[in-house]
Amino acid sequence: MSSSAGTDQQSTNPPRRDDTRFPIEIWILVICGFIIAVGFGILAPALPTFAASFDVGVTAVSLTVSAFAFMRLLFAPTSGRLVTRWGERKVYFWGLIIVAVGTAVCGFATEYWQLLLFRSIGGIGSTMFTVSGVAMLIRLAPPAMRGRASGLWATSFLLGNITGPLIGGGLVEISIRLPFLVYGVAVLLAAFVSLIFLRNSTLADRGNDDADVTPLRVRDALRHPTYRAALASNFGNGWAVFGVRISLLPLFVVEVLRERESMAGISLAVFAAGNAIALTFSGRLADRIGRKPLALAGLLVSGGGTVWLGFTDSVTMFLIASVVAGIGSGLLSPPQSAVVADIIGNKGKGGPVLAGFQMAADVGAIIGPLVAGLLADSFSYGAAFGVTGLITLLAVFFWVPAPETLPRPVTTADEEPGTATELAPESGILSEAPEPPVGERVGGKPDQPDV
């Protein structure tokens, strides 16, 4: 773009928005995330027990978790393309609708295969709202606040996961099917909250001014070593947090610790509490000292805490280990998400790259419960949690040589208004051009100028 064009653009745009505050759309996403997570937390203690009620083994119980993740994985590339074609808001809404319906009908399943089928349908909607939600988050977050935005997004889910299992543990005592219905209603509520409050939001990928923006391809992002590191850590996080934690923790509580199903809900809430504690500061630290130090610390703490879980023999030690593992996951989540945002940028079309990042976690969530379930059946729960922790720790070897991607702060007084900070020079960023400006809010809508 010529300098004159840039000058004209600067003269016609309104003043740059305050990069120390989040736009209202991010807060709407946070509220919806909290509602979704409460429902998910309600379901978590019920799913393994409900699956086991069909007289199937630990591996088959774990398959109900893996099937959900498998459909997320299978549909992730399509979700990325849908975001590019339809826009984030529509994909987000319909994804939530699919999850709500798919989960609610699980409560009416009378055979194991029906539960497996309905959970799989829910996985399609899950990948739709996850990819589109993160795309909106990246698009709207100021570059200097990406870590905090990722932390805020994750905190909304974790606070819901603290509340949800406690409610779910009580609902299980009433009926093992009730949590599925409550979860469906909760996600339906989130869908209509997003429909009502985001209806006036115009997003970058639907704007006419972005028609000439070429989407960032996954193979181009894979050239970046820090993106590869984020994939490795997200794979381990998916294995441990989204897979094994959901499928094995409730069974471990009942079969090894000899506690009631309601204690499974408490253990999940304790893990989420540790996660939420870390998220109160990890996003800010990722924006201040860098993505890499926080990611490494998170992997070490999370992996160590997960290994410890398998060797606990009392409720007290089990809950302490759950807190430690949760803290590690909370340290890891903001920096690895911020890395992906750094690479895509505010103006970039990164649906496929986001889908690839999500797919790494989904692959882990598919393989993890199956491998851990086989280890628990054949050897012990200690072996299952031990291998899970080691998988998480392996990602350290990807992060150690990875360059930092934290954007450089603006240090010159003559920096062009509205121009985002650049990535650290050693990061190997794919484009050397400065990031385009974050959209200004005009009349309640984010206005995205031509760049």
Confidence label for 1 from pLDDT (cuts 50, 70 and 90): very low
Q: 374-422: per-residue pLDDT in tens?
A: 998 888 888 999 999 999 999 999 999 999 888 776 554 444 443 344 4
What residues are paired with 446 via a beta bridge?
441
**C-alpha dist (Å) from residue 225 to 221, 222, 264, 365, 429:** 9, 7, 38, 23, 10
Question: Which CATH number is associated with domain 21-407+421-433?
Answer: 1.20.1250.20
Q: 208-263: per-residue pLDDT in tens?
A: 345 555 667 778 888 889 999 999 999 999 999 888 887 788 888 888 888 776 77
* Distance, CA of 273 to chain centre: 17
Higher pLDDT, 240 or 48: 240
Q: What is the largest CA-CA distance in the chain?
A: 73
Confidence label for 371 from pLDDT (cuts 50, 70 and 90): very high
**C-alpha dist (Å) from residue 134 to 140, 199, 337:** 10, 17, 9
State the amino acid at position 160 in one-letter form.
G
Q: Give the Cα separation of 299 and 250 in Å (integer).
A: 23
Q: 336-358: per-residue pLDDT in tens?
A: 988 888 888 765 566 788 888 88
What residues are paired with 441 via a beta bridge?
446
SS3 assignment, position 440: strand
Which residue, 52, 436, 410, 440, is CA-closest to 255? Answer: 52
Q: Give the Cα separation of 250 and 9 in Å (integer).
A: 57
Quote the pLDDT of residue 346. Answer: 61
Reduced DSSP (H G I as helix, E B as strand, rest coil) percent helix, strand, coil of the chain, to 5: 75, 0, 25
pLDDT at 194 over 90: no
- Token digits of residue 356: 């690839």
DSSP assignment, residue 441? Answer: E
Q: 124-154: per-residue pLDDT in tens?
A: 998 898 888 888 887 777 777 878 888 888 7
Q: What is the pTM of this model?
A: 0.69
Q: Where are the domains of the chain?
A: 21-407+421-433
Tell me the range of 79-93, 108-122, 436-450 where mean pLDDT is highest. Answer: 108-122
**C-alpha dist (Å) from residue 244 to 9, 151, 442:** 51, 23, 46
Q: Phi and psi dihedrals of 423, rounded to 5? A: -70, 160
Q: Phi and psi dihedrals of 445, rounded to 5? A: -125, 145
**C-alpha dist (Å) from residue 180 to 3, 100, 118, 185:** 57, 9, 11, 9
